[in-house]
Chain A
Amino acid sequence: MREEEIAREDLVMFINACFACTGQKEFYSDAGNQRVSIDFLHEYILGNYRLVYARSLAVGINHFNQAQIILKLLATGKNILSENKEEEGALIAAAIEQLPPQRAWKLLEQLKKRRINNRRSRAIAREYINKRKNINFQAVKYRSKVRTIATHCHLKLNGELGDFLFSGWDKKVYETEIFEKFRQAHYSVEALYKLPYTVAEGLATKHKIPRQIFLSRIESQMSLAEKLRLQKTAERTDKVEIALNWERLPLTKLALYILSLPVKKRYENWHIFQEALLKSARNIVLKSPLKLGKVAAVLDCSYSSSGSSEKRRRPLGVALAAHYLLKIAAIEYKSFWTGKIEEPLLVTARGQTDLATPLLNALLWEPDLIVIISDAWDNDPPGGAAEVLRVYRTKLDPTNKISIVHCNPVFDTDNYTLRSISPIVPTVGLRDAEDLPTMLTFARFAEGSANLKELEDYLASRVETMLSKYRKKT
């Protein structure tokens, strides 16, 4: 019994961490600590619960951790039980297929760096390359990575791809258009503007094209994420404006983009932003139905929610995005911020963390569900919210009339887990507000009201859905 309990705690800790941690710098800890800490967790779970480790690929954890899991599984193929072989292989293939291309190529490149070379890893790489419909485009964009993988796995490449990757400029003319453009761009400035932005950028330096001219002409070749990334650069550069179709951004990214703008601009475009956020939230609810009754959100906008230089305002962005998502999903909704916030759209990360006051106000409002989004560094007074929760649960509401869930966007490296406000309420990891529906279901495992068996069943059902979707696709 005790063993089961420990196993459940371990798995919940791991999956929670996989939702929040990205190995990047956080407000309270640096990138090195984050990586060491999460790496230890991976090794520990891989060593003790291999099947569940592989299955966690299907829960919807973030891309960084998916890549870590795939790498670690491929590196230790020897230890797998024969009856799980097929499932694990399918899970890896399905997961890598879902990763964004830059993540997937980086992962495959890591195979060489970590000297992983076995039949399965080669098959995975081969399958990944064969399945790419736009492999020529990707070969141009991720040239060095594709080449590394091709040599590492001894892949036979079709058409001109092999020539393009290996024979340098011996070949005078390519028949494939994008390869030919790439070749030409080494000699001609015009051809350069037909290439993907990241490739053209390097060649622009070679041709000594002024930054200003380059940016304004390459705009059509940029992806949405690249346009988003270059907004500040465009502001700095004279006469360059990169039009960003920000309405297309997913909810959390949109919230982060809006938070990156000065308060004055947010105030002026209040209506437009408000509509865009609500629309984005509606789309999520349509995709993964979330129906809630009377909901209160306790949202942290203290200084620590400003994140770090690598994750700028991430905790605050998650809180803002969740605010709009809950607003759409709930019949009745009210938000309670840690600071004095009149308009959530104009929020800035400032001031101390006083979770007790908004939590008390939320309790007074008597909702069915309270969602707390905070990094749990409660300091005014320290442990105030924990006391509120303890007294409330033990004395004022022993029947659990109001359910309370704490979502933490930050992984605490020292304890290999998410910092919790109080052991009384479940804590779950949350990196994107889009995961909120998943996390609300997952909360019952974190709380301990569901046992190990139920958790395993839950994982198995998620695996089933993921694999059937993958099979349908291929």
Chain B
Amino acid sequence: MNKKPPLITKISLKGLELAPSQVWGSIRLVPLLRSHQNKKLRLFRRTYDEDITIVHVKKNIDYISYIPHSLVLSWNNNEAPQVACGSQLVTDSKSLNLGCCKGGMLNRIAKKQSPNQLRFLPLHLAMEGFLSIYFSGPKVAWSEYPKRVFSQGLNPRSEFSYSGSSISGLEDALRVFEIHENQVGILVFVAEALASAFIVPNSEDYRALHTSLLQDFYGELIYYYGMLHNTHYPMDLSVDEASINSLKELKEAIGHMRQDWADFQGFMADSLLGREIQSQPIQKTGLFSLQRFITDLDPHKINHIGEAIVSNTGELEYLKTYRLSANQTRRIYLLSQLAKHDWNLDITATELNISRIELIRRLERVGFGFLLKESVRHEAK
């Protein structure tokens, strides 16, 4: 009997091994290996060349962004031969001529296109989830909010990010990276800060998708880190020769060295690995479930959003994460606090241990001033 794929509450690298990192400038890339690979799930990339794409999310809600590619997951229960990576010439984007640029239209961020094929927009899935949190705005008609907020919510809610190709050094780092034989994923560190984690079901797909990391988007902080730092921390492990008396022992010691690298890199990624997360299911089949998640949004910690595909054994078949910048965390934290107290400014301010004026100023600073009436905004000036 098939177990149902569970909702994940923690990112764990069950079934995956970390291998020693490869560094280039300030970029550290940590390979993730999997010895038992799932050949039933295949992931391939579909590219779009539109400058801007409008995705219809649901009634009256559209998601607009530059979308260079989508991932198509196909699975097969009867073990028939699978499609080769990237060999499909179909596109599901409708083209629009916007005069100044080329536009595209897509339906849904994750859409089942046939009984065994699912197309989704990597990271946009997580980002759309992030943007839609508390999107509906206040339920109670407090006098501080203008009418527009009650009718339209936080519309338009926007965030900005940097494309991988603008992060200095990432392109070269990906080019010179030596892909392991069993590699299915990678952790990307920029100046020793975890920028993204990426896992796919099997190694063939990883080889094809390795360079797609360059077309994904990364937070502002990662962009600045890439620009400011051009080297990594020197890290070196050594073998204690006192305890070694034969080549066999030396061989074991090198094995330990490899393990120590893996453990330490796992520790470096502790802002994501083993962290409590809230996830939301997107699609479910008998084999796996696609879900998106967000870490606990503690403003003092590093927070990530992401999406994952979990098989019914609880193993991660796919993972892609995005590190929120401090500003983005602060923004969502303020919204969560407001939502927690029914959007009442006074109560929220008291709970946060600050004055009402300070709260208004904070909202103003993170770019949510437009949610308040002019007269209220004036109070804080």
Binding site for B on A (CB under 8 A): 27-28, 302-304, 339-340, 350-353, 356-357, 360, 363-364, 379-384, 387-388, 390-392, 394-396
The answer to the question of B284 belonging to the interface, with a C-beta cut-off of 8 Å to chain A, is no
In the complex, what distance in Å separates the CA atom of A390 from the CA atom of B242? 12
- Report which of B31, B178, B250, B261 forms a contact with A396, defined as CB distance below 8 A: B250
In the complex, what distance in Å separates the CA atom of A465 from the CA atom of B241? 47
Q: Are A396 and B247 in contact (CB under 8 A)?
A: yes
Q: Are B247 and A384 in contact (CB under 8 A)?
A: no
Q: For B251, list chain A residues within 8 Å (CB).
A: 360
14 contacts between A and B (CB under 8 A): A350-B179, A351-B181, A352-B22, A379-B22, A382-B21, A382-B261, A383-B237, A387-B237, A388-B250, A390-B239, A392-B247, A395-B241, A396-B245, A396-B247
Q: For A396, list chain B residues within 8 Å (CB).
A: 244-247, 250
B85: shortest Cβ distance to chain A, in Å? Answer: 17
If A379-B22, A381-B20, A396-B250 touch, whether A387 touches B257 (CB-CB below 8 Å) is yes
Most buried by A among B22, B178, B180: B178
Q: Are A387 and B254 in contact (CB under 8 A)?
A: yes
In the complex, what distance in Å separates the CA atom of A356 from the CA atom of B20? 13
- Which residue of B has the minimal Cβ distance to A387? B239
The answer to the question of B340 belonging to the interface, with a C-beta cut-off of 8 Å to chain A, is no
A352: shortest Cβ distance to chain B, in Å? Answer: 5
Q: Are B258 and A384 in contact (CB under 8 A)?
A: yes
Q: For B22, list chain A residues within 8 Å (CB).
A: 352, 379, 382
If A387-B257, A394-B241 touch, whether A27 touches B176 (CB-CB below 8 Å) is yes
If A27-B176, A387-B254 touch, whether A363 touches B181 (CB-CB below 8 Å) is no
The answer to the question of B19 belonging to the interface, with a C-beta cut-off of 8 Å to chain A, is yes
Q: Are B176 and A395 in contact (CB under 8 A)?
A: no
Q: For A27, list chain B residues within 8 Å (CB).
A: 176
Most buried by A among B20, B181, B253: B20
Q: For B21, list chain A residues within 8 Å (CB).
A: 379, 382
Cβ contacts B196-221/A at 8 Å (1 or 0 each):
00000000000000000000000000
- Report which of B180, B244, B254 forms a contact with A356, defined as CB distance below 8 A: B254
Interface of B is mostly: loop
In the complex, what distance in Å separates the CA atom of A383 from the CA atom of B234? 12
A263: shortest Cβ distance to chain B, in Å? Answer: 16
If A303-B178, A351-B180 touch, whether A379 touches B247 (CB-CB below 8 Å) is no
In the complex, what distance in Å separates the CA atom of A360 from the CA atom of B236? 20
- Report which of B20, B180, B181, B247 forms a contact with A364, defined as CB distance below 8 A: B247
Q: For B244, list chain A residues within 8 Å (CB).
A: 391, 395-396
From 248 to 307 in chain B, residues with beta carbon under 8 angstroms from any chain A beta carbon are 250-251, 253-254, 257-258, 261
In the complex, what distance in Å separates the CA atom of A383 from the CA atom of B254? 10
In the complex, what distance in Å separates the CA atom of A298 from the CA atom of B29? 26
The answer to the question of B87 belonging to the interface, with a C-beta cut-off of 8 Å to chain A, is no
The answer to the question of B238 belonging to the interface, with a C-beta cut-off of 8 Å to chain A, is yes
If A352-B19, A384-B254 touch, whether A391 touches B181 (CB-CB below 8 Å) is no
- Report which of B179, B245, B250, B258 forms a contact with A381, defined as CB distance below 8 A: B258
If A303-B179, A304-B176, A351-B181 touch, whether A360 touches B241 (CB-CB below 8 Å) is no
In the complex, what distance in Å separates the CA atom of A339 from the CA atom of B180? 10
A118: shortest Cβ distance to chain B, in Å? Answer: 43
- Which residue of A has the minimal Cβ distance to B256? A381
If A381-B237, A396-B246 touch, whether A388 touches B178 (CB-CB below 8 Å) is no
In the complex, what distance in Å separates the CA atom of A474 from the CA atom of B261? 63
B56: shortest Cβ distance to chain A, in Å? Answer: 42
- Which residue of B has the minimal Cβ distance to A384? B254
Q: Are B247 and A380 in contact (CB under 8 A)?
A: no
Q: Are B178 and A391 in contact (CB under 8 A)?
A: no
Taking A356-B254, A391-B250, A391-B253 as known contacts, 13 extra A-B pairs with beta carbons closer than 8 A to each other, sorted by chain A number, are A302-B178, A303-B179, A351-B181, A352-B22, A352-B31, A380-B20, A381-B20, A381-B257, A382-B20, A387-B237, A387-B257, A391-B244, A395-B241
In the complex, what distance in Å separates the CA atom of A352 from the CA atom of B181? 8
In the complex, what distance in Å separates the CA atom of A302 from the CA atom of B181? 11
Cβ contacts B18-45/A at 8 Å (1 or 0 each):
0111100000000100000000000000
If A379-B22, A383-B237, A391-B241 touch, whether A351 touches B254 (CB-CB below 8 Å) is no
Most buried by B among A28, A302, A387: A387
If A380-B19, A381-B261 touch, whether A353 touches B247 (CB-CB below 8 Å) is no
- Report which of A28, A339, A360, A379 forms a contact with B254, defined as CB distance below 8 A: A360
In the complex, what distance in Å separates the CA atom of A356 from the CA atom of B253? 11
B200: shortest Cβ distance to chain A, in Å? Answer: 18
Q: For A384, list chain B residues within 8 Å (CB).
A: 254, 257-258
Q: Are B178 and A379 in contact (CB under 8 A)?
A: yes
In the complex, what distance in Å separates the CA atom of A267 from the CA atom of B261? 38
Q: For A356, list chain B residues within 8 Å (CB).
A: 254
Most buried by B among A360, A381, A387: A381
Q: Are B179 and A351 in contact (CB under 8 A)?
A: yes
Most buried by A among B176, B180, B245, B250: B250
In the complex, what distance in Å separates the CA atom of A339 from the CA atom of B181? 9
- Which residue of B has the minimal Cβ distance to A340? B181
Q: For A351, list chain B residues within 8 Å (CB).
A: 178-181
Q: For A380, list chain B residues within 8 Å (CB).
A: 19-20, 180, 258
- Report which of B19, B179, B254 forms a contact with A388, defined as CB distance below 8 A: B254
In the complex, what distance in Å separates the CA atom of A352 from the CA atom of B235? 19
B329: shortest Cβ distance to chain A, in Å? Answer: 33
Pairs of residues from A and B, 4 with the lowest C-beta to C-beta distance, nearest first:
A303-B178, A381-B20, A352-B178, A391-B241
Q: Are A391 and B246 in contact (CB under 8 A)?
A: no
Q: Are A28 and B239 in contact (CB under 8 A)?
A: no
- Which residue of A has the minimal Cβ distance to B246? A396
Q: For B20, list chain A residues within 8 Å (CB).
A: 379-382
Q: For B180, list chain A residues within 8 Å (CB).
A: 351-352, 380
In the complex, what distance in Å separates the CA atom of A298 from the CA atom of B65? 51
- Report which of A339, A340, A363 forms a contact with B247, defined as CB distance below 8 A: A363
Q: For A381, list chain B residues within 8 Å (CB).
A: 20, 237, 254, 257-258, 261
In the complex, what distance in Å separates the CA atom of A395 from the CA atom of B244? 8
Q: For B253, list chain A residues within 8 Å (CB).
A: 387, 391
- Which residue of B has the minimal Cβ distance to A27? B176
